[in-house]
Amino acid sequence: MPEDTPTLDQAAYQIRRYGLDVDPQAVLVAVRLMAAGARLGQAVEVHFSRFGLSAGRYRLLAALEDADGEMSPSGLADVLGVSRATVTGLIGGLEREGLVLRRPSAEDGRSAVVVLTARGARRMRELAPEHFGRLQEMVGALDPEERAVFLDLLGRLVRGIPALTRERSAREE
């Protein structure tokens, strides 16, 4: 699984196979971004597994810290951009490890409050230097100006993602 795949030629070949009028370079951007995302996602899981966490669990703990240590499950789901069911699963794992605990809400009988434990806070404190250090190292190949350019371009691509899922008008079938 080399890292510069697919190539422009491969993309062009796949498009031409169906006689489509599509820019191979545009397709290449989309496909490479997907591949990079998948690759990065896997590396991040390996990275966090060293601390007994996963990417999702880390993000939940970080969100908890940002909220001064307390937050409801549905609030977490909103902030993390995942479903409530996923948050339930993440909390379960973190609670088993004692990094977080669940307390019923005083105001709302339906609601719960997820609390960052001292142990959870310590875990975050311990992994922070290495975590952020490695992230910085990964991005080190880009100078600050290039990073700004990348963030701009990436943001514009992200805003184009709805093109993949949007319903099309009827006459386009």
Q: Is 125 in the site for a copy of itself (CB under 8 A)?
A: yes
Where in 28-47 is the site for a copy of itself (CB under 8 A)? 28-41, 43-44, 46-47
Cα separation, 70 vs 102, in Å, equals: 10
State the binding string over 139-158 for a copy of itself (x if CB under 8 A, else -): xxxx-x-xxxxxx-xxxxxx
Return the range that interacts with a copy of itself (CB under 8 A); candidates 68-76, 97-105, 108-116, 130-138: 130-138
Cα separation, 145 vs 139, in Å, equals: 12
Among a copy of itself, DNA, none, residue 91 binds (CB under 5-8 Å by kind): DNA
- Identify which of residues 24 and 77 has a Cβ nearer to DNA in the complex: 77
Return the range that interacts with a copy of itself (CB under 8 A); candidates 85-93, 100-108, 109-117, 126-134: 126-134
Where in 52-111 is the site for a copy of itself (CB under 8 A)? 55, 62, 65-66, 78-81
Question: What is the closest distance, in whole angstroms, from the C-beta atom of residue 173 to a copy of itself in the complex?
Answer: 9
Cα separation, 17 vs 28, in Å, equals: 16
Question: What is the closest distance, in whole angstroms, from the C-beta atom of residue 51 to DNA in the complex?
Answer: 12
- Identify which of residues 22 and 105 has a Cβ nearer to a copy of itself in the complex: 22
